[in-house]
Amino acid sequence: MAVLIDRPNWPGPRGLLWSHLVSDSSLEELHDFARLLGVPERAFDRDHYDVPETVYDRAVSLGAEPVGSQELVRRLRESGLRRPKTRA
């Protein structure tokens, strides 16, 4: 049971790099951690939060486990919490 975060490698708004924040056990754990981190609910997208590089170090200091992007996706899928985009 862990909250996972990948390195901020994804270009996004405001010229920042972004990370993905996920849980490998429950969405409740993920939402609780995001609130603790001060991440707004609007940053939640189906199964993860998009978080800017400015919160990466704090997330790790609060207990998020830093992992590579491939491991993050693998563990999210294995948890059964992965929610792929649906086609319109």
13-67 pLDDT, tens digit each: 899 999 999 999 999 999 999 999 999 999 999 899 999 999 999 999 999 999 9
Please check whether residue 42 lies inside any domain of the structure. Answer: yes
Report the predicted TM-score, pTM, of the whole model to 2 decimal places: 0.88
Please report whether residue 87 resides in a domain. no
| Residues sharing a CB contact under 8 Å with residue 10, sequence separation 6 or more, in sequence order | 17, 18, 19, 20, 50
Domain that holds residue 56: 3-79
Count up the domains in the chain and report the number. 1
pLDDT-derived band of residue 83, with 50, 70 and 90 as boundaries?
confident
What span, in angstroms and rounded, lies between the C-alpha atoms of 10 and 29? 24
84 is a domain residue: no
Within a domain: residue 11?
yes
Residue 85 in any domain: the answer is: no
- Is 31 inside a domain boundary? yes
Amino acid at 67: V
In a domain, 36, yes or no: yes
